[in-house]
Amino acid sequence: MRILFVHQNFPGQYRHLAPALADSPANEVLAIGEEANIRRMQGFHPRVRLLGYPQPQGASPQTHHYLRSSEAAVRRGQSVARLALELRRQGFLPDVICAHPAWGEALFLKDVFPVARLLLYLEFFYRGSGSDVGFDPEFPSSFDDRCRVRARNTTQLISLEACEAGVSPTHWQREQYPDAYRQSIQVIHDGIPSDLACPGEVAGFVLPEGRGTLRSGDEVLTYVARNLEPYRGFHTFMRALPTVLAARPGLQVLIVGGDEVSYGRPLPDGGTYREHYLREVGGGIDGGRVHFLGRVPYPRFIDVLRLSTAHVYLTYPFVLSWSLLEAMSCGCALIASDTAPVREVLQDGHNGLLFDFFSPAALAATIIGVLSDPGSAQPLRAQARRDILDRFDLATRSLPRLVTLVSDLAAQGPDGL
């Protein structure tokens, strides 16, 4: 097979699939991404050829704000199309193209390679109600917001019309897409490397600023998000912390995540949500026991999860984080928001504990309950680990299904037969 991967932040969701396909000498695998990201990925795999396109110009400030994401997507799609045209001139004609359509890279690929089978990674379809928009009354949405997110789907809809198949990581994410396209979307998660994300002992976890060292057996509360922001319930977590810290004087808290905004809107004053909620809770936070680690390398992240006595995960009805499944794979005692994406993988009292997203008091009480009697959470920990092995394991579940999906598409040929 000849396979082309397209993702502005390659490898993104293709971190495992691209190497698995490239491992076969019978396959030829190329990957296109934004130039700056591709430079960082040199040496990713000896049989994955990496090609970069320059960062495209963004939308004009004069463009209607509903259409700025679409204009930026078209510019990015053009950049990818130019690179793809050069590949075609060199004689590379892919059997299958695996692309993430969110940023516009898939817009014109079928015009360059009309015979290729286009497989889209369908992560999230925006809706004006019923998912993230309008979920949190603290950050209300306007009629203008609902119109804007409807227009934001333009890029995906154009790409969907051109593709042969799609894949979504969870059923809830698939269900966000229009009925007309769902039948062509398979649900296959990217996969969790359970051999790496697994329970284990931690002998010495050095805290920042010389605050000491943690080891397995210490009482540790953990929270993880790509960035510390309301979409991942950071405000609810911070408001629960003073009560938890007061009740558990020996507790240490590890918080992983950056200060940018991945989702939602930035604060009007330009500050970070971390600073904002630290000011709000004021003296209720003991700076000697609450450790903001920022973004950390994967091995240190896994050590955070292995140290965890109780792990908190919150999310709006939005894309389900890899970190929740990695925490399950590490056998964490999960305390998570009772929101639709979470309920697909966690059942209250079975493999974790669920609480009302909007109730810091309920979160604090649940955390204190687990910390007070950690042995009672052991069955939940064990079941969480089993569920990852049964449903989301990279080597035995996700990767074989993804490889088969690509192979089947390649075998169909231009007539779909």
136-177 pLDDT per residue, tens: 999 999 999 999 999 999 999 999 999 999 999 999 999 999
Residue 390 has pLDDT above 70, yes or no: yes
Looking at residue 414, its pLDDT comes to: 63
- Return the minimum-mean-pLDDT range out of 91-105, 167-181, 228-242, 401-415: 401-415
Looking at residue 417, its pLDDT comes to: 43
Residue 277 has pLDDT above 50, yes or no: yes
Taking the CB of residue 364, how many other CB atoms lie within 10 A of it?
Answer: 22
| Angle subtended at Cα 353 by Cα 352 and Cα 354, rounded to the nearest 5 degrees | 125
Residue 416 has pLDDT above 90, yes or no: no
Residue 340 has pLDDT above 80, yes or no: yes
Looking at residue 305, its pLDDT comes to: 98
Share of the chain above pLDDT 70, in %: 99
The one-character DSSP state at 28 is E
Looking at residue 415, its pLDDT comes to: 52
Looking at residue 300, its pLDDT comes to: 98
Looking at residue 62, its pLDDT comes to: 95
- Return the minimum-mean-pLDDT range out of 281-285, 311-315, 332-336: 281-285
Residue 20 has pLDDT above 60, yes or no: yes
Helix, strand and coil in the chain, % to nearest 5: 40, 20, 40
Across residues 268-272, what is the average pLDDT? 93
SS3 category, 139: coil
| Angle subtended at Cα 320 by Cα 144 and Cα 161, rounded to the nearest 5 degrees | 60
Across residues 103-114, what is the average pLDDT? 98
> Are the CB atoms for 20 and 45 separated by under 8 Å?
no
Q: What is the pLDDT of residues 178-229, one digit of tens each?
A: 999 999 999 999 999 999 999 999 999 999 988 999 999 999 999 999 999 9
Q: What is the pLDDT of residues 46-90, one digit of tens each?
A: 999 999 999 999 999 999 999 999 999 999 999 999 999 999 999
Cα separation, 102 vs 377, whole angstroms: 39
